Amino acid sequence: MRKFIIKRLLISIVILFFVGMIAYLLMRCMPADYVEQMARELSSRPGSKSFDEWKNQLYAAYGMDQNLILGYFTWLSNAVVGNFGDAWSRPGQTVIEVFNSVIWYSFALGAISFVLQIVIAIPLGIVAAKKQYSKTDYVVSFIALLGISLPTFFLATLLKWIFSVKLGWLDLFGIVGRNYQQLSSFGKVLDMGAHMILPVITLTVVSIGSLMRYTRTNMLEVLNSDFIRTARAKGLSERRVINYHAFRNTLIPVVTILGGSLPSLFAGAQITETLFQIPGIGYTSYEAILAGDIPFVMFYIVFLAVLTLLGTLIADILYAVVDPRVRIQ
């Protein structure tokens, strides 16, 4: 196990090196960035220097006057020690400071929807498999297909139209209400929770479909296995066959999927956060991309790459833990 983890970590370092290089090259090749916007704004002032002079001065100040390869290794040497630079779109704040101020909104949103996804999708998938071709199975399959088919932006817009525009129960966007500062501590928690309802519903609905169908498919495969028929032939009750033998084996591939999804709790949901204007890492990265904030976008891309590699490693390890037939070396 230890050799396997060390090997995977070394491979991950190589992958991160090339992911960072590709991301840096793409960001430097963008048609416009924050530096050019700032240079254009400064050059438009009366009596100011020309656009090219401001651009060259700012590029030198931000370390972008070097060629692509040298610039990437300069960025990499700083990133290795945790220095990702200043966030251009948020003057006075470093990239890490911005990240620390927004990541917990994304984590709360992702964690709640992740728990609801497990609580809803796995039991429904098992029930659908137990009652194959019944009305229950058809209803569950319809819900799963609906969750898979509905685009996030459509579902979010529909929920906002129903609960915010028509019924007026919830605010259209934001993480807090207008009177947030006048509320008590408990009232502030309730206010923030109310603003998380629609984003959580959106993420949960679009996520449960695939997990529900995956659970149902695996349960059907397990129920048709020889050891299940043997257990039934030995006179075991159907509840024990399902809850002990079938359920445990069904969870083997499901656990690996869920384990691989754990790092995504910190990745943010860019579309959902943007539509509801939740100030999480997804919405912040969207604003940084629009502003041409190269340091923050670079950090976000590398952060997503780290989470993806970590999720893959967790999934592989969990697969070996829950299935004694698998041995990793």
Q: Is 136 exposed, middle or buried (0-12, 13-18, 19+ CB in 10 A)?
A: middle
- Mean of pLDDT over the chain: 83
Query: CATH homologous superfamily of domain 102-292+303-322?
Result: MetI-like (1.10.3720.10)
Q: For residue 124, is pLDDT > 70?
A: yes
Q: For residue 127, is pLDDT > 60?
A: yes
Confidence of residue 323 (pLDDT cuts 50, 70, 90): low
Mean pLDDT (whole number) for 9-16: 88
21 with 72: CB under 8 angstroms?
A: yes
**Which of the residue ranges 25-34, 44-53, 80-89, 311-320 has the most confident prediction, judged by mean pLDDT?**
80-89
pLDDT number for residue 161: 92
Mean pLDDT (whole number) for 85-91: 80
pLDDT exceeding 70 applies to what percent of the chain? Answer: 92
pLDDT in tens, 280-293: 888 898 888 887 78
The first and second tokens of residue 214, run together, are 């995956």
The first and second tokens of residue 231, run together, are 């257990």
Mean pLDDT (whole number) for 6-30: 84
Mean pLDDT (whole number) for 132-143: 89
Separation between Cα atoms, residue 115 and residue 207, nearest integer Å: 11
Phi, psi of 239 (to 5 degrees): -65, -45
Q: If residue 241 lies in a helix (H) or strand (E), which one and from where to where?
A: none
pLDDT number for residue 97: 92
* C-alpha closest to that of 109 among 208, 212, 195: 195
Q: For residue 175, is pLDDT > 80?
A: yes
Mean pLDDT (whole number) for 93-97: 89
Separation between Cα atoms, residue 163 and residue 153, nearest integer Å: 15
Q: Which residue has the higher pLDDT, 79 or 252?
A: 79
Q: For residue 329, is pLDDT > 60?
A: no
243 with 126: CB under 8 angstroms?
A: no
Q: Is 150 helix (H, G, I), strand (E, B) or coil?
A: coil
String of b and e for 9-29 (b: at least 16 CB within 10 Å)?
eeebeeebeebbbebbeebbe
* H-only helix segments in the chain: 2-28, 34-43, 51-61, 68-80, 95-130, 135-149, 152-160, 185-223, 226-233, 238-240, 247-261, 270-276, 281-291, 294-322
Query: For the chain, what are the domain ranges?
Result: 2-80, 102-292+303-322
pLDDT number for residue 268: 64
